[in-house]
Structure 1
Amino acid sequence: MKKLTELHQIIQQVSQAESLESALQAIVAGVRNTLHTDACSVYLSDQAHSHYVLMASEGLNAQGAGKLHLRHSTGLVGWVAERQEAVNVRNAPAHPRYCQLQGTDEEAYHGFLGVPIIHRQQLLGVLVAQQCAQNRFKKSEQAFLSTLATQLAGSIALSLSQNALQGSTQVQSNSPSQYEGGAGAPGIAMGTGVLVFSTLDLDQVPDRTAEDSEAEVAALQAAVDGVAADFELLAERLEPGLSAEDRALFRAYALIARSQELFDATVHRIRQGNWAPGALRESILEHVRLFEAMDDPYLRERAHDIRDIGHRLLARLLPSDASCETDYPPHTILIGENLSPVDLAAVPTERLAGVVSGHGSSLSHLAILARSMGVPAIMGITGDVELGKLDGTRLIVDGYQGRLYLNPGESLQKDCRRVQRQEKKLSQELQSLRDLPAETLDGVRLPLYTNAGLLSDLSHSLSRGSEGIGLYRTEFPFMVRDSFPTEDEQYLLYRQVLEAFHPRPVTLRTLDIGGDKALTYFPVQEANPYLGWRGIRISLDNPDIFLTQIRAMLKANAGLGNLRLLLPMISRVEDLDEAIVLINGACHELQNQQDHIVLPPLGVMIEVPAAVYQAEELARRVEFLCIGTNDLTQYLLAVDRNNERVARWFDALHPAVIRALIQVTDAARLHGKPVCVCGEAAGDPAVALLLLGLGVESLSLSSGDLPRIKWVIRSFSRQQGQELLRLALAQEQATSIRAMLLQALNAAGLGALVHPGNDIPVA
Structure 2
Amino acid sequence: MLSVLRKIVQEVSAAPDLESVLDLIVRRIQRTMKTQVCSIFLFDPVQQRYVLRATQGLNQDAVGKVSLSMTEGIVGQVGQRAEPINLEDAARHPAFHYLQATGEERYHAFLGVPIIHHRTVLGVLVVQQVEHRRFDESEEAFMVTLSAQLAGIIAHAEATGSVNMDTAEAVAGQADASESVPAVHDKRFNGVAAAPGVAIGTVVIATLTAELETVPDKPGRGVERERADFHAALEAVRDDLTTLGKSLAQRLKAEEQALFDVYLRMLDDSALRGEIERRIEQGQWAQGALRDVILAQVQQFSRMEDAYLRERATDVRDLGRRILGYLQESAGPVQMECPDNAILIADELSPAMLGMVPEEKLAGLVAVSGSGNSHAAIMARSIGIPTVMGVVDLPFTRLDGRKVIVDGYSGRIYVNPSERLLEAFERVIRDEQAVAAGLEELRDLPAETTDGYRMPLWVNTGLVADVTRSLERGAEGIGLYRTEIPFMIRDFFPSEQEQLQSYRSQLEAFAPRPVTMRTLDIGGDKALPYFPINEDNPFLGWRGIRVTLDHPEIFLVQVRAMLRASEGLDNLRIMLPMVTSIHEVEEALRQIDRAVAELQDEGYDIKRPPVGVMVEVPAAVYQVRRFARLVDFISVGSNDLTQYILAVDRNNPRVAGLYAAYHPAVLRALQYIARETRREGKPVSICGEMAADPGGALLLMAMGYEVLSMNANNLPRVKSAIRGVSLVRAQSLLSRVLRMGDAEEIHQYLRDALKGLGLGQLTRPRLPNQL
| Matched residue type, 1:117 | I
TM-score, normalised via structure 2 length: 0.74
How far apart are the structure 2 equivalents of 1:97 and 1:752? 51
Show the counterpart of 2:448: 439
Correspondence list, 1:318-467, <5 A: 320-322=330-332, 333=343, 340-341=353-354, 343-345=356-358, 349=361, 354=364, 356=366, 377-378=386-387, 380=389, 382-391=391-400, 393-467=402-476
Show the counterpart of 2:141: 143
Show the counterpart of 1:511: 520
| Matched residue type, 2:357 | L
8 Å Cα contact 2:383-2:713 kept in structure 1: no
Instruction: Name the CA shift for 1:526/1:137 in 2 (closer, same or farther; >3 Å).
Output: closer
Correspondence list, 1:550-569, <5 A: 550-569=559-578
Residue 725 (structure 2) aligned to one of 716, 722, 728 = 716
Structure 1 gap ranges (5+): 214-310
Q: CA deviation at 1:670?
A: 2.0
Q: CA deviation at 1:627?
A: 0.8
Correspondence list, 1:498-577, <5 A: 498-513=507-522, 529-540=538-549, 546-547=555-556, 549-577=558-586
Show the counterpart of 1:600: 609
Instruction: Name the CA shift for 1:748/1:25 in 2 (closer, same or farther; >3 Å).
Output: farther
Show the counterpart of 1:676: 685
| Matched residue type, 1:671 | E
Q: CA deviation at 1:572?
A: 1.5
Larger mean Cα displacement after TM superposition, 452-461 or 503-512: 452-461
Show the counterpart of 1:92: 90
Show the counterpart of 1:742: 751
Residue 44 (structure 1) aligned to one of 26, 30, 42 = 42
Q: CA deviation at 1:613?
A: 1.2
How far apart are the structure 2 equivalents of 1:597 and 1:336? 44
8 Å Cα contact 1:341-1:365 kept in structure 2: no
Match of 1:507, SS?
Answer: strand
- 1:566-592 deviation line (CA, Å, top 9, x unaligned): 122221223323444554566577678
How far apart are the structure 2 equivalents of 1:144 and 1:522? 43
Residue 178 (structure 1) aligned to one of 164, 188, 193 = 188
How far apart are the structure 2 equivalents of 1:202 and 1:31? 30
Show the counterpart of 1:256: none
Q: CA deviation at 1:150?
A: 1.1
Task: Report whether the alignment pairs 1:644 with 2:644.
Answer: no
Q: CA deviation at 1:519?
A: 7.2
- 1:657-686 deviation line (CA, Å, top 9, x unaligned): 222212211211222322211123322344
Residue 768 (structure 2) aligned to one of 756, 760, 763 = 760
- 1:164-194 deviation line (CA, Å, top 9, x unaligned): 335599999x998111345566443335556
Q: CA deviation at 1:422?
A: 0.9
8 Å Cα contact 2:564-2:606 kept in structure 1: yes
Show the counterpart of 2:74: 76
Show the counterpart of 1:258: none
8 Å Cα contact 2:691-2:709 kept in structure 1: yes
Q: Give the length in aligned residue pairs.
A: 655
Instruction: Name the CA shift for 1:723/1:98 in 2 (closer, same or farther; >3 Å).
Output: farther
| Matched residue type, 2:52 | L
TM-score, normalised via structure 1 length: 0.74
How far apart are the structure 2 equivalents of 1:326 and 1:659? 48
Match of 1:659, SS?
Answer: helix
Show the counterpart of 1:190: 200
Show the counterpart of 2:637: 628
- 1:385-433 deviation line (CA, Å, top 9, x unaligned): 3224334544322234442112333432231222122122112112222
How far apart are the structure 2 equivalents of 1:4 and 1:62? 30
Instruction: Name the CA shift for 1:597/1:20 in 2 (closer, same or farther; >3 Å).
Output: closer
| Matched residue type, 1:179 | F
8 Å Cα contact 1:378-1:403 kept in structure 2: no
Q: CA deviation at 1:652?
A: 2.0
Match of 2:358, SS?
Answer: helix
8 Å Cα contact 1:160-1:176 kept in structure 2: no
| Identity score, percent | 48
Q: CA deviation at 1:57?
A: 2.5
8 Å Cα contact 1:401-1:755 kept in structure 2: no
How far apart are the structure 1 equivalents of 2:439 and 2:697? 17
Show the counterpart of 2:626: 617
Instruction: Name the CA shift for 1:69/1:720 in 2 (closer, same or farther; >3 Å).
Output: farther
Structure 2 gap ranges (5+): 167-177, 214-232, 247-320
Q: CA deviation at 1:361?
A: 7.5
Match of 1:467, SS?
Answer: coil
How far apart are the structure 2 equivalents of 1:645 and 1:512? 25
- 1:41-71 deviation line (CA, Å, top 9, x unaligned): 2121223333222222333444332223322
| Matched residue type, 1:145 | M
Match of 1:683, SS?
Answer: coil
| Matched residue type, 2:705 | V
| Matched residue type, 2:476 | E
8 Å Cα contact 2:371-2:650 kept in structure 1: no
Match of 1:23, SS?
Answer: helix
How far apart are the structure 2 equivalents of 1:728 and 1:436? 29
8 Å Cα contact 1:197-1:323 kept in structure 2: no
How far apart are the structure 1 equivalents of 2:164 and 2:80? 30
Q: CA deviation at 1:497?
A: 2.4
How far apart are the structure 1 equivalents of 2:675 and 2:383? 41
How far apart are the structure 2 equivalents of 1:553 and 1:370? 25
8 Å Cα contact 1:440-1:718 kept in structure 2: yes
Match of 1:681, SS?
Answer: coil
8 Å Cα contact 1:315-1:321 kept in structure 2: no
Residue 664 (structure 1) aligned to one of 656, 661, 673 = 673
Instruction: Name the CA shift for 1:523/1:323 in 2 (closer, same or farther; >3 Å).
Output: closer
Q: CA deviation at 1:141?
A: 0.6
- 1:149-172 deviation line (CA, Å, top 9, x unaligned): 111111211222233335599999
How far apart are the structure 1 equivalents of 2:538 and 2:691? 26
| Matched residue type, 2:743 | A
| Matched residue type, 1:48 | V
Q: CA deviation at 1:626?
A: 0.7
Match of 2:199, SS?
Answer: strand
| Matched residue type, 2:110 | F
| Matched residue type, 2:433 | K
Q: CA deviation at 1:145?
A: 0.8
Q: CA deviation at 1:454?
A: 4.0
Match of 2:713, SS?
Answer: coil
8 Å Cα contact 1:200-1:321 kept in structure 2: no
RMSD over aligned Cα, in angstroms?
4.2
8 Å Cα contact 2:374-2:525 kept in structure 1: no
Match of 2:769, SS?
Answer: coil
